[in-house]
Amino acid sequence: MALPNKRFDAVKQIDGWFYREDAILFEAIDNIQARSRISGDLLEIGAYHGKSAAFLGFLLRPKEQFFVCDLFETPGATAENQIEKDDWYPSLDRETFKRRYLQVHAHLPRILTCRSSRVRRTGNLSRTFRFIHVDGSHLYQIVKQDIRTSSELLKNGGIVAIDDYRSAHTPGVAAATWEAVAAGRLIPLCITPQKMYATFGARNITWLQRLKDWGEAQHELEIAVDQVCFRQILRFSTKP
């Protein structure tokens, strides 16, 4: 597998929070899907200036579509969501995203300026997605809906990556994510310090074993195995 050093370096200039271990996992998942002949669309919920979106753009294959959903200049879904938006993303606007993305790519993804709860209707989306990156609001009710939306859009062999599942300043993400895990709706496969990678129900391709085999063969990340809700979950971290 080609390591994503050049791709990751290409997006470093873009403001945002996207780390090398996740770049490596994004590309590993893409490669496993390619070998398993899994094709499909890509979706990112929550773009900010486009750092992780620009990296995802490198993974887009012919005949696939890439959708990016964010509020940009539109009001938040609730008063609490608007406060979050004003506090954390005051410079969030569509034109900045487009400009930064086009510094890396020749063509823009399909941009959906809407609440994430309306992404299916706005984009006329269906179960065609092989990878979804949830990195939008940190509020419990919105994240809960984003997980539900992901379960309705991921195709067989698809993966959802959920950002900030454990950060101290995002307890709403942790609550919604682990609630779905405990209920058996969300099947966790692996984690990094920033993201949880998971699937839903029986829609998988023995992902755990494939990621474990990949993790043991590569030399970029440390790998450990934990038990959560009677399931194995792989833990990846940067080597010292």
The reported pLDDT for the residue numbered 49 is: 86
- pLDDT for the residue numbered 162: 98
Distance of CA 21 to the CA centre of its chain: 13
Q: What is the pLDDT of residue 88?
A: 72
Residue 131 dihedral angles phi and psi, to the nearest 5°: -150, 130
For residues 115 and 69, give the distance between their C-alpha atoms in angstroms, rounded to a whole number.
Answer: 8
The confidence score (pLDDT) of residue 1 equals 42
Determine contact, residues 224/193, Cβ cutoff 8 Å. Answer: no
Do the strands 154-163 and 195-200 form a parallel or antiparallel pair, or are they unpaired? antiparallel
CA distance 119 to 103: 26
Q: Strands 186-191, 195-200: parallel, antiparallel or unpaired by DSSP?
A: antiparallel
Instruction: With beta carbons less than 8 A apart as the criterion, state whether 233 and 189 touch.
Output: yes
pLDDT at position 193 is 96
Task: Enumerate residue ranges in the chain where pLDDT < 70.
Answer: 1-4, 89-90, 202-205
All structural domains of the chain = 5-238 (3.40.50.150)
Q: Which residues contact 230 (CB under 8 A, 6 or more apart)?
A: none
Cα 182 to Cα 186: distance, rounded to the nearest angstrom: 8
Read off the pLDDT of residues 105-121 as tens digits, 9 standing for 90 and up. Answer: 999 999 999 999 999 99
Tell me the pLDDT tens digit for each residue of 132-152.
999 999 999 999 999 999 999
Does residue 128 sit in helix, strand or coil? coil
pLDDT of the residue at 2: 43
d(CA 88, CA 132): 22
pLDDT of residue 74: 79
